[in-house]
Structure 1
């Protein structure tokens, strides 16, 4: 009986993966590699093993992702997969597990684990050893740069980010932490805003707060009804609602018209922005995330009221006044997660931002706009540009002068669980203020299905 060919084995592995037989799919991929398969067969086997292992052994998954990347070093998807795995690998309790490993994955994982365990000097040694032994791996430059930024070694971090950007681009290409760079942005020409029309409802000026959300036409249809309903019915806020629509289509306009009819047109403010995003291709999503920052400083001056800027896929799941009270004496309230600071892009989140109408808040937002515009104008619409800007401005934007006062919201302002029935009644954590698809990794149900909060998950479990 003839031995199966590499093509036959690979097809059997793909069939097994599609059928949900992960164990057999992994065994077939390992057989391909053990038999010395090369080229597309080895590449496919490494790719599949990385997918299969990521949920059970991230280090092993990273090893296969590294092997796949080495076979196709110019492939942006495999480079991104490897970057993600090596960024998240290594928890505080994993130090002993990776101690003594001399391979690239082991050294980076050890550095990450040591950082999370509070052993920054030993983490730096691990990263530098990885750089010395595996200089072709740009992700290590990024890890070391983030460590330096955490320690406010800002010029050193900046140089490392620049080196990483030269090698592989990505988020490192839009991350700068040198105070001199931020100063040059602040002292440069005024940045361009956006071209938009602005329609303000007759009663919007009487409200003491503006809740502001921005999105494209697809997200407008999918998320605006639920967000607006939650603000009106569940947030406890006396607010105007500003909706910033980027390239709205007829369905998006109908959605907004329906919301105005349901909740009172007088409280709505609608910005309509039309822009050709064809040159950005798949990176248009970065512009959707960043455009609000390009106009926010101007809106703050125009409205002269506090602004609560929210991602459009959020729901307010209870009274927000207690949360906003915690940042009532700061210039900005913004969410952060200390354990995510291995990445500078997660230092400050962009999904919930409470802005008071102070000159210090305006200075922070104006510099954020300058930073974002700098990279957009240079053809670098990299995802997470908005959060790279927030982090850079926070770390390096006010050297030698008083910085704006920030209130840091804990990450558990987001609900980690949602349960929903067929009628759209949902149950969430009682301690959180928001639920979102993105912040909780997708949750069990799409946000647009959630109609009315019925109670807490604790009540459901007890019942």
Structure 2
């Protein structure tokens, strides 16, 4: 394949990438960069190479992502890609690989690897060396800030997050770990609530638990039928089911009506929220994730019973009572993942929350709501705002008083495998409690076909 026009070479590379011919795509991108390393096509070539390499060598992908960002530092996509790669590269077993590298990617990767290996002091030295040598690469501030937060150096972490926010924005702009900041939120006037109607079935009061999920109209159509079916048939829970619909359309309403007819209207609670999200544009998904936290404290007071709040794309794949028993004497139960704590935004997950109607839970959730509302009101609907809020409240919200009692669920409450047959019967592993369609990246195309759990993946015979 011979091209003399750089634009033609770039287009051929992108076409090859789209068709899965990654070898040709890499060859063409490298040819472009060899001939014109600072040419007009170079940022796109580096960006393509980062995509092509990320599954094989994240550090090499980060090298190209950094090069793309250096060429066009104002490009939001390049900035976001580089932030993500520098955040996640570097496993505990990679220390020897990155030891001795003096470039920015190598130093950040070494810092991440050392942190994952439990060598926090050496990790901090690697991050600070990266900042000294490459002060223009502000993304390293995030890595150092998360390390300080992990060590409860909360004011120091907060200052680093503020510096990072001022220089590159993104997720760092909605992350605060200062106890003083959290205290100011608690002492401020109550935040605005949401505008919603509520319709409660006649049998709700008799149920000892409420399962609560929130979504927009699109997710209602895509995920609610299988999620509700799994709660009714597989969870083993005696519960009311609360569905919080943000801007429901006629199709979403039809889904809810069908579910009520199939599973008994008396057990359903339906909240309908109307809000103009057009100013948020593509960031409206952040509001869909956060809206539940804006109303949750009020619902807990209204119902005065435990609430199990779930992401709408979750399926209950076996009896949930043993899981809820583990958090029955805490104020809240939620999931964490120790290896993900390199990122403060993954300290506590927002997909499964078991909340008891206690003073401790209300204090936690009220402060979470205030945190989220603070940033939404300032025009910062940044994805992961809800988990940044949970982490900040957990770390810095109760430094001068007894914190709420928290049960931490392990990450393997989620299954990563689902297999579906032609009849819509599905198999999952039996050691987990939930299957997360989006988080695991599998099965989303088939979720509407899921009808009934047939067994475990161990029962599926080869061939």
TM-score normalised to structure 1 length: 0.98
Paired residue secondary structure (1:439): coil
Q: Which runs of 5+ in 2 are unaligned?
A: none
Matching of residues 48-197 of structure 1 within 5 Å: 48-197=48-197
Q: Which runs of 5+ in 1 are unaligned?
A: none
Aligned length: 462
- Asked whether the equivalents of residues 436 and 447 of structure 1 are also in contact (C-alpha less than 8 Å), the reply is no
Matching of residues 1-400 of structure 1 within 5 Å: 4-400=4-400
- Asked whether the equivalents of residues 38 and 71 of structure 2 are also in contact (C-alpha less than 8 Å), the reply is no
- For structure 1, which segment, 315-324 or 29-38, has the greater mean C-alpha deviation from structure 2 after superposition? 29-38
Paired residue secondary structure (1:279): helix
- Tell me by how many angstroms 1:461 deviates: 4.3
Quick one: distance in 2 between partners of 1:229 and 1:170?
37
Paired residue secondary structure (2:357): coil
Structure 1, residues 159-200: CA drift from partner, whole Å, max 9, x if none?
Answer: 000000000111100000010110111111011111100111
Query: Hey, what does 1:424 align to over in structure 2?
Result: 424
- Asked whether the equivalents of residues 437 and 446 of structure 1 are also in contact (C-alpha less than 8 Å), the reply is no
Quick one: distance in 2 between partners of 1:8 and 1:420?
43
Structure 1, residues 231-278: CA drift from partner, whole Å, max 9, x if none?
Answer: 001000000000000000011111101100110000000000000111
Structure 1, residues 132-184: CA drift from partner, whole Å, max 9, x if none?
Answer: 11111121000000000000000000000000000011110000001011011
Paired residue secondary structure (1:319): coil
- Asked whether the equivalents of residues 420 and 445 of structure 1 are also in contact (C-alpha less than 8 Å), the reply is no
Quick one: distance in 2 between partners of 1:146 and 1:324?
30
Quick one: distance in 1 between partners of 2:379 and 2:220?
26
- Asked whether the equivalents of residues 201 and 265 of structure 2 are also in contact (C-alpha less than 8 Å), the reply is yes
- For structure 1, which segment, 440-449 or 384-393, has the greater mean C-alpha deviation from structure 2 after superposition? 440-449
Quick one: distance in 1 between partners of 2:11 and 2:355?
55
Structure 1, residues 60-110: CA drift from partner, whole Å, max 9, x if none?
Answer: 111001111111111111110111111110000000000000101000000
- Asked whether the equivalents of residues 3 and 9 of structure 2 are also in contact (C-alpha less than 8 Å), the reply is no
Paired residue secondary structure (2:113): helix
Paired residue secondary structure (1:135): coil
Q: 1:33 to 1:72 in 2, by over 3 A?
A: same
- Asked whether the equivalents of residues 50 and 62 of structure 1 are also in contact (C-alpha less than 8 Å), the reply is yes
- Tell me by how many angstroms 1:451 deviates: 1.2
- Asked whether the equivalents of residues 438 and 444 of structure 2 are also in contact (C-alpha less than 8 Å), the reply is no
- For structure 1, which segment, 85-94 or 4-13, has the greater mean C-alpha deviation from structure 2 after superposition? 4-13
Mapped pair 1:406 → 2:406: yes
Q: 1:115 to 1:241 in 2, by over 3 A?
A: same
- Asked whether the equivalents of residues 306 and 356 of structure 2 are also in contact (C-alpha less than 8 Å), the reply is yes
Quick one: distance in 2 between partners of 1:250 and 1:391?
37
- For structure 1, which segment, 41-50 or 102-111, has the greater mean C-alpha deviation from structure 2 after superposition? 41-50
- Asked whether the equivalents of residues 6 and 37 of structure 1 are also in contact (C-alpha less than 8 Å), the reply is no
Paired residue secondary structure (1:353): strand
Query: Hey, what does 2:453 align to over in structure 1?
Result: 453
TM-score normalised to structure 2 length: 0.98
Structure 1, residues 106-147: CA drift from partner, whole Å, max 9, x if none?
Answer: 000000000000000000000000001111112100000000
Paired residue secondary structure (2:212): strand
Paired residue secondary structure (2:41): helix
Q: 1:307 to 1:382 in 2, by over 3 A?
A: same
- Asked whether the equivalents of residues 246 and 288 of structure 2 are also in contact (C-alpha less than 8 Å), the reply is yes
- Tell me by how many angstroms 1:37 deviates: 4.5
- Tell me by how many angstroms 1:439 deviates: 2.3
Quick one: distance in 2 between partners of 1:410 and 1:3?
53
Quick one: distance in 2 between partners of 1:145 and 1:18?
37
- Tell me by how many angstroms 1:422 deviates: 1.3
What is the aligned-residue RMSD (CA, Å)?
A: 1.2
- Tell me by how many angstroms 1:462 deviates: 6.2
Structure 1, residues 6-42: CA drift from partner, whole Å, max 9, x if none?
Answer: 2332233223223322112111111111113433321
Quick one: distance in 2 between partners of 1:136 and 1:245?
44
- Asked whether the equivalents of residues 194 and 273 of structure 1 are also in contact (C-alpha less than 8 Å), the reply is yes
Quick one: distance in 2 between partners of 1:312 and 1:194?
20
